[in-house]
Structure 1
């Protein structure tokens, strides 16, 4: 009979997510993971199977946490435009407040791994689709309330908002101050 696990796998996934988010998949070594999690390599492989399997779990955890965070921001009381502005501004603050300037793990993964890893690409696509769906629901709500032109294609507006967020999250990795990103938010809101 094997020894019982001396660590919480959920905590391990959270810690691994931090390493993958900071370093990227390719640059993260198994030793980086065991050092961060505080377990041996045998425990890492016995519990998760492989570095890639652990990465998939970490990416899925990131997807769920970020999507729930954005959905909660968009579900606050107030006008549709205020909620959209609040969500965009919260993303700016989140990214610029991160001393490591990690950006968005899904965007980083899309650039690094998605072209050569179908399963990873599918996870990232699902996150982007969930984000776009949250934006679309908010835009449609704004159209019903008369805050957003009802003649606009809500799906197209949601896709534009998603593309804007992806671009902003990349820009935030090198932005020296929030001015550039706040101008983007102002332009988006002025266009709605």
Structure 2
């Protein structure tokens, strides 16, 4: 299902409250799609099963709405970092440490769902794959702008194109986010960040 269809998917007005979808995000982030039951969603959102299914159609429908909400929240935060003033490398450093803080301090928030959706559903679910592709492309476009600026002001060498550097950085960034789920030693994560930035 396309992002436009998800945004325009009709449901009763009383369920337009983002708090309901945010509550579902927390449940899906903790349990994954397969591990989340209808009762888990009822407990997490405070709504009855009939109300949930009337509003969203199915667990899949609610999952897609929750993922879309997570994409919008996460993208807004990341773009705000990449578009702020300061050197290109400093913005990248802030983004990396923002990712660490999000994962370590808020394990059941929007960025966790974005990451888990790619690992759990990315190769199985066309709607999830489509949403994640759009998310990655938007972040990649913002990173290309940062690397282009960095090359123009000679912060970064032109040993690779801006898009190649952006994609290489993305690989390291996503790898760091996965490590965050398995490593709680912040010194190790700080070393990963230092290594990523040293290679630019």
Common fold: TM-score over 0.5: yes
Assess, with a 3 A threshold, how the Cα gap between structure 1 residues 37 and 120 changes in structure 2: closer, same or farther. same
The answer as to 2:142 corresponding to 1:134 is yes
How far does the alpha carbon of each residue in 1:35-94 deviate from its partner, in whole angstroms, 9 at most, with x for none? 111111111011111110110010011111111101101122111111111111111122
Q: Sort the Cα spacing of 1:102 and 1:190 in 2 relative to 1 into closer, same or farther, 3 A.
A: same
Q: Deviations over 1:101-137 (max 9, x none)?
A: 9973222111111221111111111112222122111
Q: Judging changes above 3 Å, is the alpha-carbon distance between structure 1 residues 102 and 16 closer, same or farther for their aligned structure 2 residues?
A: closer
Distance 1:168 1:40, change over 3 A: same
Q: Give unmatched runs, 5+ long, in structure 2.
A: 1-11
> Are positions 1:30 and 2:38 aligned together?
yes
Structure 2 matches for 1:94-173, cutoff 5 A?
A: 94-98=102-106, 104-173=112-181
| 1:101 to 1:182, Cα distance in 2 relative to 1, 3 A | farther
Alignment partner, residue 20 of structure 1: 28
Q: Matched residues in 1 for 2:162 and 2:57: separation?
A: 42
**1:9 Cα offset (Å):** 3.6
- Cα distance in 2 for residues equivalent to 1:88 and 1:157: 15
CA contact (8 A) 1:101 1:172 kept: no
What is the number of equivalent residue pairs in this alignment? 189
TM-score, scaled to structure 1: 0.90
Q: Distance in 2 between matches of 1:148 and 1:5?
A: 50
